[in-house]
Amino acid sequence: MQVPVLDASQSDAALAPLLRAACERVGFFLLVNHGLVGAQRDALAASARLFELPNDVKETLRATPATNNRGWTRLGEETLDPSRQSRGDTKEGYYIGREVPSDSAEAALPLHGALHASRTLLVRKPVTDAARAQGRTCGPPRRCCQAGARP
């Protein structure tokens, strides 16, 4: 089997069908010309280190209401489409969110508020560095730490 090599410099219209085919036929691919800078690569490396930890260590990082639902979710814990799935998703996750002061009106929103001490060393620096590398900030007015956000 040959690993598909996808070129991220292509237009979305050209890349989308190739990406879909790679995922459906092979299950993985190599992405080139993606433009990731060092800080972004560091954030990805930190993510890899997190998911390589033993489950008993990751359990101490569980996402709960007390942590503003930020933290680790175990394999099978979430179900994207319960109407089509009888078992949970085959993925682990680690949720982060926008850090705002606890007295901010936004602190009551999901995935907002202070970053809990147990998570600070693990995610704050890699995420902040990656955001800065993209010219983003993690404070008002931009929302760089939300899915799909753009500066």
> Would you kindly state where each structural domain of the chain is located, as residue ranges?
1-35, 36-151
pTM for this structure? 0.52
pLDDT tens, residue order, the chain (151 aa): 789 999 999 998 999 999 999 988 888 899 998 877 777 778 788 888 888 889 998 898 888 887 777 888 888 888 888 888 888 888 888 887 777 787 888 888 877 776 655 554 455 555 555 555 554 444 433 333 333 333 3
- Say which amino acid occupies 74: R
Round to whole Å and give the CA distance between 85 and 62.
23
Partners of 26 in beta bridges? none
Q: Taking the mean position of all CA atoms in its chain, how far away is CA 95?
A: 7
Instruction: State the pLDDT at residue 39.
Output: 74
Cis ω before 110 (30° cut-off from 0) = no
Instruction: State the pLDDT at residue 14.
Output: 93
Q: Where does the chain show beta strands of DSSP type E?
A: 5-7, 30-32, 71-73, 93-95, 98-99, 112-113
> Tokens in use for 56?
């008993």
Query: Do residues 107 and 116 make contact, with C-beta atoms less than 8 angstroms apart?
Result: no
